Every structure is written in C-alpha cells, then in structure tokens.
Structure 1
Amino acid sequence: MSRTRTALALGMAAAAALTVASATATASPLPLAGSTTVTPAGHAFKATLSGKATLKAGSVTVTCTVSVSTGTVPAAPGNQNPAGPVSSPITPPTYSSCTSSVWGVTPTVTTSGAWSVSMQHGSPITATLNVPVGGLVVTTTGLANCVVTTAPTAPAAVNGTWTNGAPPSLTFVNATVPVTVTGGFGCPTSATTSTFNAVYKVSDTTNPAQQITVGP
C-alpha cells in the first residue's frame, strides 16, 4: 500500500473512532435529579395571586389581578421522591378582573382539565405548572374578537421557581407557553407562544400556622 493510501486509511479510521466516541458520549444517560420532600404531608394548600398575572401573545397582553388555585400535598410516602420531583394535583386556576393592552377589547379567561404542580428541590427550587391540552383559553370581545388557546395540541410544562418562606411563593418570569390564536382583524394569529408572568403566595389551609415547605 502506498504512503498516500496508508495515510488516507489511518485518517478514515481516526474519524470513525471519533464519531463512535462522540455518539457514545451523546448517548450517556443524564444524572438523576436530587431528592425532594414536600411537607406537611397530606395538607391542603391555597395559591393566591400576588399583584398581577400577565399572558402576552404577539402584541396583545392580558392582565389579571385575581387568580386562585387549591391543591393537596400527597400523603406520605408520596410526598417524598428520592430522585425527582413531587407532583400535586391542583384545581384549574381561576382568573378574573382581567384587562387587555388593546383599547376597546375585553378579555375573559376560562380554565379546565387536570392541572398539577411539580416541585424539585435544588438551588433554586424549581416548580413546573403542568397545563392540560386546551387547559386555558382567553377569549376577547369588542374591537377584536380573538381566541387564544394554550397547550393546543399537547400538555404544556410552564417552568417557574419555588421559594420557602412565610408564606412561600411560586414565581413565573417570562415562562413560555405554546398557544394558537384564531380570529379576525387585530388578533395576533401568527403567535405560536405566549409569555406568562405571575407570583403566587401559598398558604397551608389544613393548619394556617404551618407553611408548605420543599426540602431534600
């Protein structure tokens, strides 16, 4: 074999080895999430909006000042997960006292389906609001008649953070939510995502003297 062919063969072998090594590295499993414990086990809680919640699709922003959801921490041992988040079912959040950034447009927000919130201990503590298919719909009337549907084809995970405290808080900052928008003139029909901002204060309704806490 000539020197040129030998060099070419060695180069191809090295490239193949690099490709295999790269594929092996890519296929390596991700590290497991840390442990999570939510207490007090079995206690009911209420999440109440603090300030305002905004949902922005295209150039239209809907702002609501009243929102509430309730749920229950899983009973032991379901309130603990040695390698991942703890999930709690919640009632579909209600939204009222809503206004639109577009003059002459009145929004109404309706929610439905099986919602839940998942907590993962860490730094920060992460929280995921799980929205079912079509779980939140914004309908506007007036100068623009639009329908904004969240999670239109598949459940959506809305990412936020949890902060322990008295009371603890659940915060969403520019969280991305998939949407579809239908309607005529003035409707942001080209929008495929929306941004969600809100802060909820969470109270223990089983024993108001205690706080819902997320730990390892």
Structure 2
Amino acid sequence: MATRRLRASAALTAATAALTLGATHAAGALSAGSTTVTPAGHSFTAKLNGKATFTAGSTTMTCTVSASAPNGTATNKIPAAPGNHNDAGAVSAPINPPTFSGCTTSIFGVGVTVTSNATNGQWSISAQNGSPVSAALTMPKGGVVIKTSGLASCTLTASPTGPTSVNGTWTNGAPSRLAIANAPVAATGTGGFLCPTGNQTATFSAAYDVTDTTDPAQQITVGG
C-alpha cells in the first residue's frame, strides 16, 4: 500500500504537470484552425483554483498551491501582434516553470519536495480556438523532480525522455480558466525500500485561473 501511495508523487511531475491538460511525449500541435489570443503583448499569471490532485491507482496526493507568474522576461507573455494570431493553428507562449507547494500524502512520516526547472528547455502553453477551446501545457525533459523523505527516500522525474504535452480545455471569463482532468503523465522513479522504481504512469487534475498582470481590468481571451 505504501508503495502504491508513493507512486502518486509521480503524477506531480505533470504539472507539472500546476498549469493545465492526455499526454504525448512531444510538444504536439493542436488541431488546425484560426486562433487569436488577446490582449497582444500582455503578461499573465496562472494560479491554482482549488487543489491539484495527482493519482496513481487508488492513491491520491494533493497540492494546495501552484502558480506560474511573469518575472520581467519574455515568459508568461502573450506574443505581440501579429504573433498573437495564427490562421492555421494554435498560439503558444513560453512560461516560467510552475511551482508547487502545500503537497501532502496519506503516508505517515513521508515528506514531499517538488522542484520544477527549465534546465533542458522552455516550458510553454498553447491555446487553439474551437468548441471547446483546447489548450496544452508543454514541459521539457526532466521538467519536474519530486523527492520524498522520511519513511522512504525516493526521487521521481517527470517527462524523462523528452518534452511532454498535457492537454486540457480553456474557458474565457473573468478570470479565464485552464482546466486539466485526469491527464496521464510519464515519470521515472529511483530509490530504495518502498520507492517506486522504473517507468511510472499517473494522472493529474487541476484548474488554473489565468489573469492579465499588465492591465488587471482586462481578460486573457482566446478566439478566432
């Protein structure tokens, strides 16, 4: 039972898995069609609404805090016009690696530390106009590392072989929302006694509110 519960940590690599969306092992394109994201050139932040859950089998781990915010660079920024429009597909933007905290498991005596990174490439988010509007969060190889301590000392690495795109839906609103439901996430685990080792599969669910930080009176909107 403890081993199955530790596997729930692997799902956290989705967040990788906290903005976000069925997974692929490449930053695959969304279905073709005209897309425009506005306001062009504005910065945005994505903040967890509720809880992020990471589930393996019958075991779930929960995180209460997750966000990706601008830091003064080109990340977390809608492309300036005309880059915010694509006649034949999705519009994408680089983002800062989402952070995760307030994470717990039901295993007594086991602590969890989650570290996201852009060591092997850039994180990004894409949106494709449609009904519903679809979205994808792409993390680079090894974009999240989870370590447990205490009763079991384990390391799980997300997206171990290359970029992974996690798909979900987008809803325009005040604020707009990116929702991910039971998205599969690949990870690999190492460690000693009670640790999940080798290739792992888990699911990630979360909802993120996406707000305009350049002009909070405006909304981040996806259209045709």
The TM-score range, normalised by the shorter chain, is 0.7 to 0.9
Residue 176 of structure 2 corresponds to residue 176 of structure 1: no
Q: Match for 1:134: what amino acid? A: G
What CA distance in whole angstroms lies between the structure 2 residues aligned with 1:48 and 1:145? Answer: 30
Secondary structure in 2 matching 1:133:
coil
Letter of the aligned partner of 1:110 in structure 2?
T
Equivalent residue number for residue 11 of structure 1: none
Alignment length, in residue pairs?
A: 185
Q: CA deviation at 1:188?
A: 2.5
Q: Could you say if the C-alpha distance between residues 107 and 58 of structure 1 is closer, same or farther in structure 2, counting changes exceeding 3 Å?
A: farther
Q: 2:222 — aligned with what? A: 214
Q: Pick the structure with greater CA Rg.
A: 1
Asked if 1:132 corresponds to 2:132, the answer is no
Match of 1:199 among 204, 207, 223: 207
Q: Deviations over 1:5-43 (max 9, x none)?
A: xxxxxxxxxxxxxxxxxxxxxxxxxxx611110000000
Q: Which has the higher helix share?
A: 1
Assess if the C-alpha contact under 8 Å between 2:190 and 2:198 holds in 1. no
Matched with 2:195 is 187
Quick check: 1:87 aligned with 2:92? yes
Measure, in 2, the Cα distance between the counterparts of 1:79 and 1:120. Answer: 11
Partner of 1:55: 54
The answer for unaligned runs of 5 or more in structure 2 is 1-30, 70-75
Distance in 1 (alpha carbons) for counterparts of 2:106 and 2:58: 8
Q: Percent identity?
A: 62
| TM, length-normalised to structure 2 | 0.79
Give 1:56 deviation, angstroms.
2.8
Q: Flag structure 1 segments of 5+ consecutive residues without an equivalent.
A: 1-31
> Is the Cα–Cα contact under 8 Å of residues 58 and 188 in structure 1 kept in the other structure?
no
> Which deviations, in whole Å up to 9, do the C-alpha atoms of 1:64-111 show, x marking residues without a partner?
111110211000000000011000100000111111132211111100
Match in the other structure for 2:173: 165
Q: Residue 146 of structure 2: SS of its match in structure 1?
A: strand
Partner Cα distance (1:137, 1:119) in 2 = 26
* Secondary structure, aligned partner of 1:72: coil
RMSD over equivalenced CA pairs, Å: 1.4
Find the residue that maps to 2:148 and give its secondary structure: strand
Relative to structure 1, the CA distance from residue 163 to residue 211 in structure 2 (aligned partners, 3 Å threshold; closer, same or farther) is same
